[in-house]
Structure 1
Amino acid sequence: MAIPDFENNGILRSVSDSPPTHYTITIQLFSLLTAKYSVEGYESRKFEAGGYKWKLVLYPDGNKKKNVKDHISLYLVMAGADSLQSGWEVYVDFRLFLLDQNKGIYSVFEDAFTRKKCFHGAMLSAGFDKLILLEDFSDVSNGFLVDDTCVFGAEVFVCKEKRTGKGECLARIQNASICKHVWKVQKFSTLGDQVYASIPFSAGDYKWTIWLYPKGNNGKGYLSLFLALESPKTLPPGSELFVVYTLRILDQSHANHHSHNGTTKYSAKLASWGSTKFIEQEIFKQADKGFLKNDACIVEAEVTVHGISKAL
């Protein structure tokens, strides 16, 4: 029996023994999401239901854009709406799911006031700002977050059409360790406009390289620095690596290093991340800064591969 929770934005909550029909996302590193996705939200892959493309957007510590905190926020978002004709409207009956891993059953969340939501050009998402209290979600006895792992899902029915779903698994890499690589760039004054790459190094069972643009990559007056996946085509089709990295140029005189930090996803299509405006060339070349000494600089990369997202 479904029980309306009117004190929590009118959520109708029930339980189900069956997994969601259209999509599931298993997150095995939930604690890491709060550092990167607490503001912009973690977006799942696209999935199809009722002839349309959708995705789930999760805010692990509440949707800050709506001044929500201490809750999990979860939304269904229409993807690819730009390809639809002007004036389109899609009425959707949808449910969001959260697995109780202790009992093997799902909590099912629906809107208590209206069963069908109208998606259109001005409203591309619907869901729940306060799906569940973070305190209740994190309580191991409730079974929603166990060993830093949780499972969300969605059912989306358009014109009563039901299709077999697909899913993804964001799996953590056990005992992920920080891998460091140091690259000494000699004869810096002789370097040209092109990109220079370090020798490949290993981190998380993958090969990486540092890309250095001595005169900037579309950032005039700056030095550009990137961390690149050496062979992105070796990734399983449709997969993404969840990576935390730091790029530095070392201060060889005072140990006051200049750095750039990133937490992002690498894929075959997006295989390099970094900073176009890493450091101003004028500052970099100042003798008292210690970045350039004896016409050489020392570049360092720290890379931790925390997980891989694979299509199911």
Structure 2
Amino acid sequence: MRSHPPSHYLFKIDSFSLLAETKVENFKSDTFEAGGHQWRLVLYPNGNKRSNGSGHISLYLEICMEETADLSLDWEVDVDFKLFVLDQIRDQYLAIKDMEVPVTRFYEMKKKWGFSQLLSQETFKNGDNGYLVEDCCIFGAELLIIEPPSKLGQISMIKNPSGGTITWKIENFSLLDKKVYYSPVKSVGDINWYLMVYPNGHVEGESTHLSLYLALAEPDKLPPQRQVYVKYNLRLRDQIKSNHFQFKLPFEKCFDISISSWGYRKFVSLKDLKDSSKGYMVKDSLIVEAEILLISKLK
């Protein structure tokens, strides 16, 4: 039961008893529009006897023949619908829905769906129930057209993508006088990336550490709300013993138009960086890398 009426159609019948006395098996309402199609209600006041509706009120939703004439031979319309009967005493609508088949397919061979046993005649005609008051009753319909998807999105996770390591050798490190430097751009997972290095540190790493970040090269070309998940390591290569420096756990971050870079403000101390025994700095050059382990791809 609900208080608000069906959103698409109400069908009021006066003098129901006279209608039921006629020899006409069913009565059809005027057409109404919903979801770009024309519909009508089909009422069997004495029940649809061919569908086990004897002793009941039968009510159906039908897509109009005139509507389907312009459709292709293999047309179909998928609908989530409810049929209604008004309790006129309590001003409440009884909503009837097939919970076992929430979406119904209307097609050439089946243009009409509903309930052969909507209500028993006894229940319907019992004045205490409010469905038939002063020989008047009101039925209704509400439907939602289930359209096929207009767009298909697909996300896949690519493990160890081809060419997933971005390597950047920085020459003449001691002569670097800018706040930040950018590596050449490299495409991984159909997305362009680069590395960012702050030679003298960034924010809380300033003057004490080298800061290193992985960044999207063209974040403004991502659709709004689009995210790219990346699992990756940032690394400083040991050019002597291959005892490379990186944190134990890789980064796992989502890059988007608002946050296009992630990394470490305190990646490695400048003291360790310049310690010749560690092999990070050789002939005033160092090598930093981003190794992408997992990346999302959205189609």
TM-score, with normalisation over the residues of structure 2? 0.47
Structure with more of its chain in strand, by fraction: 1
